Amino acid sequence: MTMNEVNSITNYVVVGGGTAGWISAAILSKALRNQPHKISVVESPDIPTIGVGEATIPSFVDLLEYLQIPLAEFVAKTGATFKLGIKFVDWKQKGHHYWHQFGEVGNKIDGVDFYQHWLKHHLTTQKYEFTDFSPAVALAKQHKFFISSPEHPTNLSKSTFALHFDASKVAKFLKQYCLSHGVEYVPAKVCDVTKHNDGSIYSLVTDEGKELEGDFFFDCSGQRALLIGKALRVGYTNWQHHLPVNSAIAVQSESRGEIPPYTESVALEHGWRWRIPLQERIGNGYVYCSDFCSDENARQTLLANIERPTSEPRKITFTTGVRQKIWDKNCVAVGLSSGFLEPLESTSIYLVMRTMLKFVQSLPSAQLFQPTIDEFNRLMVNEYEYIRDFIILHYCVSERQDSDFWRMWQHMELPDSLKYKLELFKCQGRLMDNYYDLFSHESWYAVLEGMGVRPRSYDPAINNSDDMLVAQALDKSFAALQVSASKCLDHKDYLDKLIAAFYRATA
Ligand SMILES: Cc1cc2nc3c(=O)[nH]c(=O)nc-3n(C[C@H](O)[C@H](O)[C@H](O)COP(=O)(O)OP(=O)(O)OC[C@H]3O[C@@H](n4cnc5c(N)ncnc54)[C@H](O)[C@@H]3O)c2cc1C
């Protein structure tokens, strides 16, 4: 066969119509727009989606751009609000809080990381917190919001943002997007899978006896993992010994009018609680470890911590871990079927996007090349491991000792990769450079410092800088951020204005 005769895969079948299914179909339809293809999404009308997953990270905004979905339209139609980061409450110890911001914190001084300069200054003056130099935190603390334009940079430009949204509205929105981009919707329950002689998937059989053939399949069936787990029998690497939370109770509550532009994560006796403010309501949940806490205890604790619930509390169970192979034969697992790392840093929907964007960069021809599949799997598992380490960090350095759950963390066996990162940091505050780590150095610094983990000494490279000039630069930068943030619109006013402008333009 010559180079010109490569046969393309044309018939793609996605099983599942949750966030993973519709994001997968949307990315695929965009990536394949200029070549012959057919994409079908098969969804059982009787099996509900997981219905949680309402906080994102900034790459979700990049996805909207990639799909050419205007931000204002998305915000107007999905109950979305802006998110500038996460406020972590009671994680280090009760009564303490810190921020994990989106975007940058400070600027390098004399070519050395801002963190190092801040640390030296802080050790002598105790004057500022590290994230006092984050534009996103300056805005978040004042409940303000602002999107800078690249043409008019300001000292807030280095803030980035993500979205909170109503998961059911997002599934509907993305479904409409997909249907208008030629994706076919098949409402049917898949109850069997037929295979080729080589073990790859040939077709799906529905409960009405219909057979749906395809060249390539995406398993977006959620925790059921119908294709990757049940049909292809790819195993699951269980990470519960590193990340033991395994249950959540979720409930919605009434909005109190004000809309903070951040997610709140509050550490509780047996886990932690999320609070995600949307336009019309608040999403709440308690993530806990069932070895230490009964479902009833979790339900009561959650209800005691929120005002005016508007839905019945719902229990969800999960197993932290990752599929041994995310791509096997002619099937890629996307979403909960591929793994789950618990919702602490809102990384699941990111991993859905990442899996699909990596897939379209590794687009197979009809002949599937094993090295392409192996490389895809290697990179995806690396990503999961980097995120896993970052999530464990939030727990393993906590000083809390007030329950068996928190005392367990004092003796928890950490992954070698995280031990290495912590040892490196604890010497001189240096961090590993991992190209594929979703979390930047600033994110690691924010959580390490927020949790009170300090290096033994700072980087001697900063001794080249004049302490007095650094101190003046910090004072100036802090004051300027507060002033700039105070001049921005309140988050709620920003949303109201954006949504009104969208409806005016489309009236
Ligand atoms: C407690 C909790 C909180 C979370 N919070 C966040 C968060 O804040 N941010 C974040 O990014 N992620 C979060 N996640 C993860 C997020 O919810 C999921 O990654 C995301 O919703 C994708 O889910 P999914 O589409 O894979 O599965 P699901 O939503 O479960 O969808 C599965 C789909 O498969 C279909 N299906 C199943 N079986 C069949 C069948 N036999 N035939 C046909 N169709 C079938 C169902 O009908 C459904 O449409 C959270 C998860 C949990 C458990």
Q: Is residue 332 part of a domain?
A: yes
424 and 448 co-located in one domain: yes
Q: Report the pLDDT value the prediction gives residue 148, as an integer from 0 to 100.
A: 87
How many domains does the chain divide into? 3
Q: Is residue 223 part of a domain?
A: yes
Q: Is residue 150 part of a domain?
A: yes
pLDDT in tens, 233-249: 999 999 999 999 999 99
Ligand 1: residue of 13, 14, 19 to mutate (most ligand atoms within 8 A of CB) is 19
Q: What is the pTM assigned to this prediction?
A: 0.96
Long-range contacts of 103-106 (CB under 8 A, 24+ apart): 103/58, 103/134, 103/135, 103/136, 103/158, 103/159, 103/160, 103/161, 103/442, 104/134, 104/135, 104/158, 104/159, 104/442, 105/130, 105/131, 105/133, 105/134, 105/442, 105/445, 105/446, 106/133, 106/134, 106/477
Q: Are strands 184-187 and 38-43 parallel, antiparallel or unpaired?
A: parallel
CA torsion, ordered 141, 145, 151, 157, to nearest 10 deg: 20
Q: Is residue 64 part of a domain?
A: no
- C-alpha of residue 169 to centroid of ligand 1, in Å: 14
Give the residue whose CA is nearest to atom 7 of ligand 1.
53
Q: Is residue 48 part of a domain?
A: yes
H or E element that contains 202: strand 201-206
- Widest distance between CA atoms in the chain: 77
Cα 248 versus chain centre, distance: 17
H or E element that contains 486: helix 467-486
Q: Which atom of ligand 1 is nearest to the CA of 45?
A: 47
305 and 336 co-located in one domain: no
Full domain range(s) for residue 473:
102-155+387-398+412-491
pLDDT in tens, 135-194: 999 999 999 999 988 888 889 988 899 999 999 999 999 999 999 999 999 999 999 999
Give the residue whose CA is nearest to atom 19 of ligand 1.
348
Q: Report the pLDDT value the prediction gives residue 53, as an integer from 0 to 100.
A: 83
Give the residue whose CA is nearest to atom 27 of ligand 1.
222
Ligand 1: residue of 27, 46, 52, 100 to mutate (most ligand atoms within 8 A of CB) is 52
Radius of gyration of the chain (CA): 24
Q: Are strands 85-89 and 263-268 parallel, antiparallel or unpaired?
A: parallel
- C-alpha of residue 17 to centroid of ligand 1, in Å: 9
Q: Report the pLDDT value the prediction gives residue 1, as an integer from 0 to 100.
A: 45
213 and 288 co-located in one domain: no
| Strand ranges (E), 308-450 | 314-317, 321-323, 327-328, 331-333, 339-340
CA neighbor of 138 nearest in space, from 486, 489, 444: 486
Q: For the chain, percent helix, then strand, then coil, each to nearest 5?
A: 40, 20, 40
CB atoms within 10 A of CB 122: 19
Q: Is residue 36 part of a domain?
A: yes
Q: Report the pLDDT value the prediction gives residue 151, as an integer from 0 to 100.
A: 83
Name the domain boundary from 317, 340, 359. 317
pLDDT tens series, the chain, 507 aa? 455 556 789 999 999 999 999 999 999 999 999 999 999 999 999 999 998 889 999 999 999 999 999 999 999 999 999 999 999 999 999 999 999 999 999 999 999 999 999 999 999 999 999 999 999 999 999 999 999 888 888 899 888 999 999 999 999 999 999 999 999 999 999 999 999 999 999 999 999 999 999 999 999 999 999 999 999 999 999 999 999 999 999 999 999 888 999 999 999 999 999 999 999 999 999 999 999 999 999 999 999 999 999 999 999 999 999 999 999 999 999 999 999 999 999 999 999 999 999 999 999 988 889 999 999 999 999 999 999 999 999 999 999 999 999 999 999 999 999 999 999 999 999 999 888 899 999 999 999 999 999 999 989 999 999 999 999 999 999 999 999 999 999 999 999 999 999 999 998
Contact 450, 101 (CB under 8 A): no
CA distance readout (Å), 68 to 27, 65, 106, 121, 346: 11, 5, 31, 44, 23
Strand order in the sheet with 331-333: 184-187, 38-43, 11-15, 216-219, 331-333, 327-328
Q: Is residue 87 part of a domain?
A: no
Q: Report the pLDDT value the prediction gives residue 158, as an integer from 0 to 100.
A: 86
252 and 220 co-located in one domain: no
Q: Is residue 89 part of a domain?
A: no
H or E element that contains 376: helix 370-396
Give the residue whose CA is nearest to atom 4 of ligand 1.
53
208 and 347 co-located in one domain: yes
Question: How far is residue 127's CA from residue 259's CA, in Å, rounded to a whole number?
Answer: 29
- C-alpha of residue 92 to centroid of ligand 1, in Å: 31
Can you read off the two tokens belonging to residue 187? 């409402």
- C-alpha of residue 335 to centroid of ligand 1, in Å: 7
- C-alpha of residue 273 to centroid of ligand 1, in Å: 19
Residues with CB under 6 A from ligand 1: 15-21, 42-44, 47, 49-50, 52-56, 189-190, 220-222, 224, 226, 248, 285, 316, 318, 335-336, 343, 346, 348-349
- C-alpha of residue 410 to centroid of ligand 1, in Å: 32
